[in-house]
Amino acid sequence: MHLEKRDYDAVIVGSGPNGLAAAILMQQKGLSVLLIEGKSTIGGGLRSARLTLSGYMHDICSAVHPLAIASPFFQTLPLSAHGLEYIYPEVAAAHPFDNGTAAILKGSVEETAGLLGADENAYVKLIKPVVKDWPAIAPDILGPLHYPKHPLAMARFGLPALTSAAHLVKRFETPEARGLFAGMAAHAIQPLSNLATSAIALVLMANGHLKGWPIPKGGSNQIANALASYFLSIGGKIETNTQITSLQQLPYAHAVLFDVTPRQLLKIAGHRFSSIYKWQLERYRYGMGVFKIDWALDAQIPFKAAGCHKAGTIHIGNTFEEITDGEKQIWQGKHSEKPYVLLAQPSIFDPTRAPEGKHTAWAYCHVPNGSKKDMAAIIENQVERFAPGFKDTILARHKMNTAQMEHYNPNYIGGDINGGVIDLGQLFTRPVLRWSPYKTSAKGIYICSSSTPPGGGVHGMCGYHAARRALKDSFGITD
Ligand SMILES: Cc1cc2nc3c(=O)[nH]c(=O)nc-3n(C[C@H](O)[C@H](O)[C@H](O)COP(=O)(O)OP(=O)(O)OC[C@H]3O[C@@H](n4cnc5c(N)ncnc54)[C@H](O)[C@@H]3O)c2cc1C
């Protein structure tokens, strides 16, 4: 393909994991690529900072990375040579109950199943096929809708995955297995009665058995730093402190890929879109928000259940029924007094996060989109419930409501951390129903954020697929 000379072949706006992945793939193909970031540092949902006291390092957004190590694209990159080291907590996730016990996701399928009593066989039957098929189906699951390479394996996954968690949980009878499954499905950030809420639970559980749920040594920003370091090493360029509000700010390029959500894209490039595409983008739906809290702690969290002490991630919410009820209330615009809380305790495994003998913890709960309510006391009550004495360990806290989340990163519209609801209506057709969801109606303009398939999480696969589309359309590169 003959192309006239421009400032860059491609420009990527936004340096989250998807922007970084898109920039890397295009640079790897021999193009000249500029990555532009509005904030003073790169990374989007992959930043860490000393949010509380000196000596305590906190992950501002993402903390735990089963999807990053499962990412077919990230696996091809020499990230360890660029400083990234993962730490694997012995227990991937623990789910404490009021009676002082906890269900845990750990080791092999059989190991976890063996702790689930009467649900041992039901667990093996549900999760084992996903674990076995994962290497074959991962590229299809973590990509746009298309005819799968392994249709039978995909059907084996798709049939249970497309059901609601409320339906699939009927395979379990013990409160332990039901609670564990609910804690996994609640990562979907929507009512557990919604279709396809089982998908995220199956993916997270299977990957817990395959590789575990690692945390990066030093903080999540180490993933962004490694990606950026590799990108620069192959000739890419990065410009920070450049918030893009108009296409006129951009250098002349053949393709521009936006790591932003539809609402922002409409403001920046809406005048270039067809009226039908604009109409479709305007109808894109955002979901529940999050209230985020980070603590500097005097000691490890004193969970009653021993299984929690070795877990990187804790799902707080007790029973399936309690989590279901809380998520439903929040979806309806109310705040839950006993919300599902997702908590990570990285300093137990990574001594670089806190001074010797001290600890950090990271947590968030779901809230209605745009909520300004301070949920700190409610979250701390939930932790205290399963870890009496927790509040006495708090040295300092840092809080972010949904408005502060959005101010921090304009992609978190109303505090939605997934770039839009990932329900059945927006699972494959995010942001709109099109042959390629990454391509806009304007020539040379693409969207590559988590508002495209496969959606939220740190895996870079939205950026990877968007870049492949742009490489094909704008540069005739198909391999
Ligand atoms: C509190 C929280 C906890 C999370 N926990 C996890 C977790 O543990 N594991 C996990 O896998 N995922 C987690 N996530 C989700 C994950 O962080 C996101 O899904 C992921 O970062 C999305 O990547 P992205 O590249 O699409 O966008 P983002 O990471 O949001 O990056 C977008 C970037 O674009 C920049 N930008 C936006 N607009 C412009 C503009 N106009 N001009 C220039 N730059 C712009 C932003 O500043 C930002 O740097 C969490 C998110 C949050 C907020």
Q: How far is the CA of 220 from the centre of ligand 1 (A)?
A: 12
The whole-angstrom separation of Cα 474 and Cα 445 is 10
For residue 411, how far is its CA from the centre of ligand 1 (angstroms)?
7
Task: State the DSSP string of 322-337.
Answer: HHHHHHHHHHTTPPPS
Local structure of 36: helix, strand or coil = strand
Position in ligand 1 atom list of the atom nearest CA 42: 49
Nearby residues of 159 by Cβ (< 8 Å), 6 or more positions away: none
- Rounded to the nearest 5 percent, the helix, strand and coil shares of the chain are 40, 15, 40
Superfamily (CATH H level) for 8-49+59-84+216-285+418-475 = FAD/NAD(P)-binding domain (3.50.50.60)
* Bridge partner residues of 94 (DSSP): 104, 314
Structure tokens at 458: 């740190």
Which are the contacts of 63, defined by CB distance < 8 A and separation ≥ 6? 215, 220, 344, 346, 362
Q: What is the pLDDT of residue 238?
A: 98
* Beta carbons within 8 Å of 346's beta carbon, 6+ residues apart: 59, 63, 215, 219, 312, 353, 360, 362
Tokens of 92: 């991937």
Three-state DSSP state, 53: coil
Q: Let me know the angle formed at the C-alpha of 404 by 258 and 279, rounded to the nearest 5 degrees.
A: 40
Q: Evaluate: CB of 63 within 6 angstroms of ligand 1.
A: yes
Helix axes 151-161, 120-141, angle to 10 degrees: 120
Q: Give ranges for CATH 3.90.660.50 in the chain.
A: 86-214+287-408
Q: Cα(110) to centroid of ligand 1, in Å?
A: 35
Q: Which atom of ligand 1 has the smallest separation from the CA of 458?
A: 11
Atom number in ligand 1 closest to CA 344:
8
> Nearest residue CA, atom 13 of ligand 1?
62
Is residue 4 helix, strand or coil?
Answer: coil
pLDDT at 1: 65
Q: 293 in ligand 1 pocket by Cβ < 6 Å?
A: no
DSSP 351: G
Mutational test site, ligand 1, from 242, 402, 409, max ligand atoms within 8 Å of CB? 409
The CATH 3.50.50.60 portion of the chain extends over 8-49+59-84+216-285+418-475
User: Of all protein residues, whose CA lies closest to atom 21 belonging to ligand 1?
Assistant: 45
Query: Whose CA is closest to atom 50 on ligand 1?
Result: 62
Q: Cα dist. 323→55, 216, 369 in Å?
A: 35, 29, 18
Ligand 1 contact, 342 CB (< 6 A): no
- Going from the C-alpha of 222 to that of each of 57, 149, 229, 267, the distances in angstroms are 12, 33, 10, 32
Alpha helices in 190-295 (DSSP H): 197-210, 221-233, 262-269, 275-282
Strand-pair category, 33-36 with 8-13: parallel
Contact, 471 vs 478, CB < 8 A? yes
Whether pTM > 0.95 for this model: the answer is yes
Calpha distance 432→168 (Å, rounded): 28
Distance 47 CA to ligand 1 centre (A): 9
Query: What phi and psi values does residue 41 have, to the nearest 5 degrees?
Result: -125, 155
Task: Show the tokens assigned to 210.
Answer: 């395959």
d(CA 235, CA 28): 9
Q: Whose CA is nearest to atom 4 of ligand 1?
A: 62
If the chain, 479 residues long, is cut into consecutive pieces of 10 residues, what is the mean pLDDT of each piece? 78 98 98 98 98 98 97 98 98 98 97 97 98 95 91 95 98 98 98 97 98 97 98 98 97 97 98 98 98 98 97 98 98 97 98 98 98 98 98 98 98 98 92 95 98 97 98 94
Amino acid letter at 315?
Answer: H
SS3 of 68, please?
helix
Strand partners, 10: 33, 255
Is 76 near ligand 1, meaning CB less than 6 Å away? no
Asked if 196 and 162 touch (Cβ cutoff 8 Å), the reply is yes
Out of 3.90.660.50, 3.40.50.1820, 3.30.2020.30, 3.30.70.1380, which CATH number does the structure's domain 86-214+287-408 have? 3.90.660.50
**Rg (Cα) of the chain, in Å, rounded?**
21
Say yes or no: CB of residue 244 within 6 Å of ligand 1. Answer: yes
Which of 245, 401, 450, 462 is the best mutation target for the ligand 1 pocket, counting ligand atoms within 8 Å of the beta carbon and taking the most? 450
Cα separation, 265 vs 288, whole angstroms: 20
Q: Residue 235: how many CB atoms within 10 A of its CB?
A: 12
Residues in the chain: 479
Encode burial over 10-30: b for 16+ CB neighbours within 10 A, e otherwise: bbbbbbbbbbbbbbbbbbbbe
Reference 48, options 304, 310, 223; nearest CA is 223
Q: Is the CB of 38 under 6 A from ligand 1?
A: yes
Nearest ligand 1 atom, CA 64? 8
291's enclosing H/E stretch is strand 289-297
CA 75–ligand 1 middle distance (angstroms): 20
Give, using CA atoms, the residue closest to atom 12 of ligand 1: 457
Residue among 366, 474, 411, 42 nearest 230 (CA) = 42
Decide whether any atom of ligand 1 lies within 6 Å of the 417 Cβ.
yes
In angstroms, rounded to a whole number, what is the distance separating the alpha carbons of residues 285 and 268?
19
